[in-house]
Structure 1
Amino acid sequence: MKKTEQTAPLLSLHGIKFYRSGTPILDGVDLQISSGEHWVLLGRNGAGKTTLVNLIYGSVWPTAGRINLFGETFGETPLQVLRYKIGILDSSQQESALQKGLTVHDVLLTGFFHTIGFYRESDPWEEKEAERILEENGFGAKRNQLFRTLSSGEKKKVLFLRAMCTSPEFVILDEPCSGLDLTAREDFIDFLDEYKKNRNFTSIYITHRIDEIPPFYEHAALLKSGKILFSGNILDAFTSEKLTQLYDRKVVVENKNGTWMAINERR
């Protein structure tokens, strides 16, 4: 019988450890994400989620372990080559780092430059593509508006479009709903869900709340104190038993019309 050829995962983390001042932040993390999959990385504040994102993006280096991305091993391929294939939305850092005088159009263009600022002239194709993206996603009329004057929800959407403008193979969404009220959060989730319908990409969504996860995410990894408690199908991950262990509180997990909820059982 002919053996079925297995495709290598798009991202593989093998035995990842990361220490800061002798303290373990990540302790033996293993995770594999295949092309086309959408994963949630769920964990409490301080679990090591942001450190893991920084390792995947190459902002920091693991103390031990190996990272493979796009078939390349970190340390054997220039990181800048790999970063051009990654889109990242990290609004907590990006919003504060962007230059104050940038318009919505300017901010989107920085995605083509792979910089957080506006440091060179754009070419005609980039200009035209930026116009198309803004128009198709409801921001055509706001192209010349200062980015800093947008609402919090609008800023998240523009930063997401910025991350996606070069059609990256892998997308990192780091706490994308942080700072949003209920209405803005639900609007942003609907925006992501609609955007994904006609596009193919692989992503990891980092959060500490299950009620802000778009419905198309089908895989999850639970991170606690720098270790993976579970990784696999989201239906197997988001159970009352597993999330009670993750949060160290008795919770009951429900899913209503695609929205996950963890209900705290107070004594």
Structure 2
Amino acid sequence: MSHVTLRRGQNVLLDDVSWHVEEGQRWIVMGPNGAGKSTLINIAATRAHPTKGNVAILGEVLGAVDVFDLRPSIGLSSTLLAQQVPGGETLKNLVVTAAYGVTGRWREAYEPEDLQRAEQLLARWGIAGYADRKFRTLSEGERKRALIARAMMTDPELLILDEPAAGLDLAGRETLVRSLTQLASDPFAPTPILVTHHVEEIPPNFTHAMLLREGQVIAAGPLETALTEETLSEAFRLPLNVSRNAEGRFSAFART
């Protein structure tokens, strides 16, 4: 993204944002509510266009490419997508329908390879035993893992995860962080962009971070320089103590 601005009426949702993501990097996007995180990833996922500025995704320029040709190369897991899943959809159908970019299996015909890949992804994310369960009957953690499996169905080059740990209890969060750590360590995995509110949810081997506030970039770059006490305190407008343990996990709390 180069000098990207997005307006909705009189509201500026993103303000002169520039961002460069390279293959092999693992990105965190953080910021308080209303910072512009969802707007940013909607553009990255080709679900929105900027009012001003240039966006190039996977070698294609947004506005000069058919986004429906580009979207299969971009895996997306979000709360909005979860809300669009039909109530009676099974887990296997939830994952395999990503091959057609739809939610809700109807009369599409799938190759045996598609069905096999869906089963493999469910197994990879630890929910193979729930393949025939309805999505709405699962726990929140199981739903989040199912949505990530769906996002990977088309073997994307870019994987965007919008707050995948939101609503999870401690065990669910740690299970998800462990899975994302394994994903990020795979050199053949898609380039992940993880949106979160909490430093405790950052997997240890993510490499880069962007901090937003009120649609503007506070910091962006390698994790060691972009995610510090100073930048986090500025982004959240709260004096914070930030630490990182030997395993690479972050924690933060307000200064007394």
| Structure 2 equivalent of residue 98 of structure 1 | 85
Q: Gapped runs of 5+ residues in structure 1?
A: 1-12
1:166, CA displacement in angstroms?
1.7
1:93, CA displacement in angstroms?
1.1
| Structure 1 equivalent of residue 68 of structure 2 | 80
Equivalent position SS for 1:33: coil
**CA RMSD, Structure 1 to Structure 2 (Å):** 1.4
**How does 1:136-155 map onto structure 2 within 5 Å?**
136-155=124-143
1:136, CA displacement in angstroms?
4.1
Query: Of the candidates 245, 262, 266, which is equivalent to residue 252 of structure 2?
Result: 262
1:21, CA displacement in angstroms?
1.3
Equivalent position SS for 2:252: strand
| Structure 1 equivalent of residue 27 of structure 2 | 39
* Bigger shift: residues 127-136 or 176-185: 127-136
Query: Of the candidates 202, 215, 233, which is equivalent to residue 222 of structure 2?
Result: 233
Any conservation in 1 of the 2:200–2:249 contact (CA below 8 Å)?
A: yes
What CA distance in whole angstroms lies between the structure 2 residues aligned with 1:200 and 1:127?
20
1:175, CA displacement in angstroms?
0.9
| Structure 1 equivalent of residue 179 of structure 2 | 191
1:215, CA displacement in angstroms?
1.2
Query: Of the candidates 143, 166, 169, which is equivalent to residue 154 of structure 2?
Result: 166
What CA distance in whole angstroms lies between the structure 1 residues aligned with 2:171 and 2:20?
34
* Bigger shift: residues 104-113 or 117-126: 117-126
Q: Which amino acid aligns with 1:95?
A: A
What CA distance in whole angstroms lies between the structure 2 residues aligned with 1:223 and 1:140?
37
Cα deviation, 1:195-238, whole Å, max 9, x if unaligned, reads 34334321211112111111121101111111111111101112
Equivalent position SS for 2:41: helix
| Structure 1 equivalent of residue 120 of structure 2 | 132
1:107, CA displacement in angstroms?
0.9
* Bigger shift: residues 119-128 or 237-246: 119-128
| Structure 2 equivalent of residue 89 of structure 1 | 77
Query: Of the candidates 2, 27, 38, which is equivalent to residue 14 of structure 1?
Result: 2
Q: Structure 2 length as normaliser, TM-score? A: 0.94
Cα deviation, 1:151-170, whole Å, max 9, x if unaligned, reads 11111111101101221000
Q: Which amino acid aligns with 1:146?
A: K
| Structure 2 equivalent of residue 5 of structure 1 | none
1:111, CA displacement in angstroms?
1.8
The total of aligned residue pairs comes to: 253
Equivalent position SS for 2:121: helix
| Structure 2 equivalent of residue 108 of structure 1 | 95
Q: Gapped runs of 5+ residues in structure 2?
A: none
Equivalent position SS for 2:88: coil
Any conservation in 1 of the 2:125–2:146 contact (CA below 8 Å)?
A: no
1:192, CA displacement in angstroms?
1.6
Q: 1:23 to 1:86 in 2, by over 3 A?
A: same
Query: Of the candidates 210, 217, 231, which is equivalent to residue 242 of structure 1?
Result: 231
